[in-house]
A and B are shown apart, each in its own frame.
Chain A
Amino acid sequence: MRRVGIVGIGQTRFGELWEHSLRQLVTEAGMKAILGCKVAGEEIDALYVGTMASGQFVNQELIAPMVLDAAGLADLHIPTTHVEGAGASGAMALRQAYLAVASGNLDVAIAGGVEKTTDVPDKEVTRILGAASDQEWEAFFGATDPALHALIARAHMQEYGTTREQLAAVSVKNHRNGAKNPDAHFQREVDAETVMASKMVADPLRVFDIAPISDGAAAAVLVPWEDAASFAEDPVEILASGQGSDSLSVSARGNLTSFGSTRHAADQAYRQAELSAEDVDVAEVHDAYTINEIIGIEDLGFAEPGQGGPFVVDGKADVDGDVAVNPSGGLKSRGHPPGATGVAQAVELVRQLRGDAKGRQVGDARVGLACNTGGTGVVSVVHLLGVAE
């Protein structure tokens, strides 16, 4: 396996971007990534695009070649691949690009992620996102995606005493961080009272526990680490990549309070990089629901099982805490275009590791971790990024 670096990154603003089409969004992110480094079209060996459901959101399949075409590269006939893993589609695309370059088979690979969710009515959005749950044995009976996460949240509360206030603290922290991120969907702070008084969706989860579904795109250019300096002045290395899966149904699992997919992905990544949770300075952790971040903090080893809530409440996940968790604002505040989120997490880590994160910069960030999850912990991807000492 070769060492791999990220030499270019790009991201659109996330939000309800009525004036932009999927094509425009993904082209904007992709061109930012390409213009940010010295890579010529002729040098690109492959493109991997993560989208959850463009076939349903904009009725467009063959999304990966469409992205290539939109970037003006169709005449080069570069191979393109669409990667799908619901909310983890982006990180899965990044991982495919990473594996291709690490293997030595390809030299320059681009990972992109995009979702255009606001071209269908809200009710359709709910149905499309709900397709990531088990249609026959969960959704059929009326279980929505928030309901399934509420079942997980309640189990965590009952097993460990996790509180409603601890869930709210995740939302408050991520909004505080997102308020300083010019790319974020919601750039304003909220207080715990607002979170806990917001509309109930599926008890105990309220509207402010749940990430918005956004439009947006992100992209990254990957090259062999040994060549990285010739493409950019400030490359960031992908130290490791791990991925795991679990049952499609939550109810098929004995353990409701931990995601085996995340633990599997994290074990792989830590082993590959010969690092542990203590080495991580900054982490982008999937928080589609506040309970996800609490469980993620535990599964990634930042806190013991059951201690994820106190970890957040005690400020250990703050930008100046033990591990800065979601300095970008996370899915909750930066927004969640399902296909783009995983790539956007890597974009944030690159900014943090380069020292370019401005008002939300984590001090002396050397090692970053991204954890991107699809469905109710059905798939999970963990990447470790770092800069040379």
Chain B
Amino acid sequence: MTVPRFWREQPQRYRLVGATCTVCDRVFFPPRTVCPSCRRESVGKVEERQLSGRGTVRSWTVVHDPAEGFELQVPYVMAIIELEEGCQTVGQVVDVEPDEVETGMPVRMVFRKIREDGAGGVIYYGFKFRPVA
């Protein structure tokens, strides 16, 4: 991934900045500029929205055959997280044994290193989720 491509997404990846449609109050993550409910009425009326980072696990898997750059993390948990604002995202669930993850588990967003492009490459940071103690 090129540096500009990553930089563009930093507010979302570092702080979980989403968006909200000011017509219908629907919240989106990742942010979008057109609301699928209001469509043409929403143009110019979708604003940034800081999400709380709190949510629950909706579905999860333990990845044993990793994506490139994730080899040292196996086995790792990927999940669909339902955020309390009503939108969903994919993210890793960490600080927990994989066999302790379950659907409905409350989690919160944490800022972590995601991976790096080799020894001298870009280090990518972003959000993961951990169980709420």
A contacts, CB < 8 Å to B: 123, 126-127, 130, 136-144, 146-148, 150-152, 154-155, 158, 199-205, 249-252, 256
Contact = CB atoms under 8 A, between A and B. Distances in A.
Determine which residue in B13, B89, B90, B114 has the highest number of CB atoms from chain A within 10 A of its CB, and name it: B90
Interface residues of B, number: 35
A152 B88 CA distance: 14
Interface stretch (B19-27, B42-50, B70-78): B70-78
A144 B62 CA distance: 11
B61 A252 contact: no
Q: Is the interface of A mostly helix, strand, loop or mixed?
A: helix
A150 B124 CA distance: 25
A155 B59 contact: yes
Contacts of A141: 78, 90-92, 114, 126, 128
A137 B89 contact: yes
Q: Is the interface of B mostly helix, strand, loop or mixed?
A: strand
B114 A142 contact: yes
Contact of B64 (A126, A151, A200): A200
Given A140-B114, A154-B60, A256 B65 contact: no
18 contacts: A130-B67, A137-B30, A142-B70, A142-B76, A144-B67, A146-B63, A147-B63, A151-B78, A151-B80, A158-B103, A200-B64, A201-B64, A202-B62, A202-B65, A202-B78, A249-B90, A251-B90, A256-B58
B48 to A, nearest CB: 17
B68 interface: yes
A203 B84 CA distance: 26
B66 interface: yes
A196 to B, nearest CB: 15
A152 B80 CA distance: 10
A61 to B, nearest CB: 21
A129 to B, nearest CB: 11
Interface of B: 1, 9, 13, 30, 58-70, 73, 76, 78-81, 88-92, 98, 103, 114-115, 124, 126, 128
Given A136-B9, A251-B89, 7 more contacts: A123-B68, A141-B126, A142-B78, A151-B90, A154-B60, A155-B59, A203-B98
A150 B78 CA distance: 10
B81 to A, nearest CB: 8
B60 A140 contact: no
B30 A136 contact: yes
A142 B80 contact: no
Given A137-B89, A251-B88, A251-B90, A142 B60 contact: no
| Top-6 shortest CB links A-B | A150-B61, A203-B62, A155-B59, A251-B88, A151-B59, A142-B70
Nearest to B30: A137
Nearest to B70: A142
Contacts of A158: 59, 103
Contacts of A205: 61
A355 B73 CA distance: 51
A60 to B, nearest CB: 23
Nearest to B82: A251
A126 B65 CA distance: 10
